[in-house]
Amino acid sequence: MSYTHRLVETAINYRHERIENQNRRLAEFSDEQKAIFKSRTGMVEGMYVVPELAQFAHELLKVNRRLRFAVSADSSLWSDDHPHIRVVDGLYAYYDGDRFSLAEIQYGQVGVTQNESNKFAVFSRKIRNEKFAPHRDQYYMVASVDMGKAVKNFMRYAIPYAPYEIAQMNLNKMAEQVETYRHKPNYVMRNSAREIRDDDSFWADTLRLYESGHKFSSPAVNAEFEKMVQARQDQAERSGRGYHACAVEVRADGRFALTKVHDIDEMGYKTLPPTASNVVTQEDLPEIVQQRLALLSMVEPHTYVDEVGMRTSDWFYWVQLDGNEF
């Protein structure tokens, strides 16, 4: 199992839902029940959470006041004292304006065995815990019974996403589209050959062609041969050049993070090397990139436009470039 990259926007939406659900359930309690419940939970970002987790979050805020917290759909457990209300046991940390959460924090039995001690855990894409198999969530976790160590773990591994990492997440989709485009002429040639082969008049005409050099008498066959000729020329042209692209992430502050990928159809299942951040304003975008972004913004997400690029979402685009433009 690979690491799950958490979108901040989604986590915030779940936070709003969790607050509404908790408050709706709490409104059904008596004053005494409310007092007991609140005394046995903590509060983070308007959510009732496991008290130790709340303490963990508050300690992190002492170190970095910019941190915010949200949740996922399944980061909660039923309260022992109040079985009709769910208490949050995992939080996603982020900064305002971030696209993806920095890391997840949890408190409880976070390992894979029962009856182990409760621990403060940090989950991050930057962690590789060889004590666990790579398919387990704990492979991306460090945990400690000591909160001080947990805070240090968080500060070490809770790192904002670099533009090249976001480009990596979207790389396969673009590479697949370019690969399909690159080999589309081959599909055309095979389809044309099938159409020719299935035409009954083709075999009689082929025999006459063999015997006396007559041309094909079927307009449909002639048309399919014309397609094959053109497709063969297209295939030769496309196979002889490189396909490069620039990943464009539209940041929350209106700027653009650019990540160039050379020979993108060959990089689809490879890891992009770390690159220095290249974040520019709209005025500093190359003209060709601006023009192609304008075209891609008019199509639906996951739409590939030949020789232009692909729109992956409202905030992420691939702009295709030739050798000179690259």
Least confident of 62-71, 225-234, 249-258: 225-234
Query: What is the per-residue pLDDT for 287?
Result: 93
Query: What is the per-residue pLDDT for 326?
Result: 54
Q: Of the ranges 58-62, 192-196, 283-287, which is most confident?
A: 58-62
Answering whether pTM is above 0.95, one says: no
The residue whose two tokens read 């980061």 is 75
- What residues does 231 pair with on adjacent strands? none
Summarize the confidence of residues 241-261 as an average pLDDT: 92
> When comparing pLDDT for 228 and 106, which is higher?
106
Summarize the confidence of residues 214-241 as an average pLDDT: 81
Taking the chain, what is the end-to-end CA distance rounded to the nearest angstrom? 35
Whole-angstrom distance, CA of residue 313 vs CA of residue 297: 9
